[in-house]
Structure 1
């Protein structure tokens, strides 16, 4: 294991740039996984990272030692940092002291939308996106299409909210959703507070592409016009609408209910 003690070390500078800059991560096609859970899921679902970074204090933790041993057996580059240098990289307050640098998977774009999927139009909140990814993975929906203005799916906050769901999904970013919808071979269900039908009123047992919009404006009128179904999630309380991540979870698991009833 290589120990780095200087902030001027070239590799440390590179890691700090990637850890702190979404633009740098996008350009490099890399993601930073911070914490034992994300690292464990990555090892289970995706393989070995490019670099494994640990803090000195984390070496005493059995779960960290186990991950470091696996990385060593697969000849992964391992970096040990003093706690203060590690803290300057990490965005997790009171974290464990372990992170991976990994390559962002390049999922091949299908010729057309012909199976279960989630389409996200201009979603802005990382927590919402991560929660939707987690719910989609739990509901068995394999593909995610993010519009050009949707938050970066591999940002640290999205990764933490997704809790490892990223590695169970095929995520496509910077997608022209209008072009995808024009040739869709499956029904497209969009949520809208002004819809005439409820999610409980249609048959969801077959493949469906779910379309969700921006936290404030919802699905754009142009995309909403291309949806096969415009649906509402009914609620009894005196609130205008659900949070988009909560709405997505309700939709996904109504579909699960219908499929397993």
Structure 2
């Protein structure tokens, strides 16, 4: 049984200020919940009768390990940020960050504004083995529902540092590499015995002038066909591949 006040509390997590106050966010879907369970980030699980009937094995797995609350289809639609809820959602705690500086590779997002792009970049960072992601002060909230959906569980395995200044990397002697269509085609990281951070800029305006001043190197992607530019999540993913496979 779920109370009206609990439904209101879950609905309030659509807004950034309430997520920050409660230090919690809502996820949806079996795969996302499964990923969150791996990292012990789940607070409560909400499911519908239909989901329980259609996913007996998964329901039995979580039955005695976590607090489960049966809710109606209408209640699920009320708490869900999506138009077509899957039938299962989970209230999760914000993951605890573990800052790593020694022998580390970071992704720094400078004023990224689209939550879908942000979530995709987090997913790519996770895929390519990066564990540390930092966002500039005016980047979109990483726990925005769309960013969480696009991240497909990456939030739980990354340390996401919000409102981090680029000077952090300068002070800690990182090689600061900016994604730039006029940059180098490759970088020999084997000859660099230092930590590095890949900087990606805003979708419309690119890397800000203040951050550009801190760049040690600029890296580009060779164009083989036609087109003006690549989406930041696409180009960022390719650059992460180039850098992580160059070590």
Fold conserved between structures, TM > 0.5: yes
1:10 aligns with 2:1: no
Other structure's SS at 2:146 match:
helix
Distance of 2:160 and 2:220 partners within structure 1: 26
- Report the counterpart of residue 64 of structure 2 in structure 1: 73
- Report the counterpart of residue 32 of structure 2 in structure 1: 38
CA apart distance, 1:81: 1.2
Distance of 1:47 and 1:71 partners within structure 2: 12
Distance of 1:22 and 1:167 partners within structure 2: 18
Q: 1:242 to 1:204 in 2, by over 3 A?
A: farther
Distance of 2:144 and 2:164 partners within structure 1: 17
1:124 aligns with 2:76: no
- Report the counterpart of residue 249 of structure 1 in structure 2: 237
Tell me which of 2, 15, 21 is aligned to 1:21. Answer: 15
Other structure's SS at 1:174 match:
coil
Deviations 1:133-176 (A, max 9, x none): 11111111110001111111122211111111112211111212
- Report the counterpart of residue 152 of structure 1 in structure 2: 141
- Report the counterpart of residue 73 of structure 2 in structure 1: 83
Q: Is the 8 A contact 1:48 1:71 kept in 2?
A: no
1:104 aligns with 2:94: yes
CA apart distance, 1:21: 2.0
Q: 1:152 to 1:58 in 2, by over 3 A?
A: same
Q: Is the 8 A contact 1:129 1:158 kept in 2?
A: yes
* More displaced 10-residue stretch of structure 1: 33-42 or 48-57: 48-57
Q: Where does the alignment leave 5 or more consecutive residues of structure 1 unmatched?
A: none
Deviations 1:11-44 (A, max 9, x none): 22212222x3232112211111111110001112
CA apart distance, 1:219: 0.6
Tell me which of 189, 207, 210 is aligned to 2:198. Answer: 210
Distance of 2:180 and 2:59 partners within structure 1: 48
Distance of 1:96 and 1:141 partners within structure 2: 30
Distance of 2:136 and 2:97 partners within structure 1: 15
Other structure's SS at 1:15 match:
helix
Other structure's SS at 1:258 match:
coil
CA apart distance, 1:109: 4.3
> Any residues of structure 2 matched to 1:167-178 within 5 Å, and which?
167-177=156-166
Distance of 2:245 and 2:104 partners within structure 1: 18
Distance of 1:215 and 1:55 partners within structure 2: 39
Superposition RMSD in Å: 2.0
Q: Where does the alignment leave 5 or more consecutive residues of structure 2 unmatched?
A: none
Distance of 1:253 and 1:109 partners within structure 2: 22
- Report the counterpart of residue 124 of structure 2 in structure 1: 135
- Report the counterpart of residue 182 of structure 1 in structure 2: 170
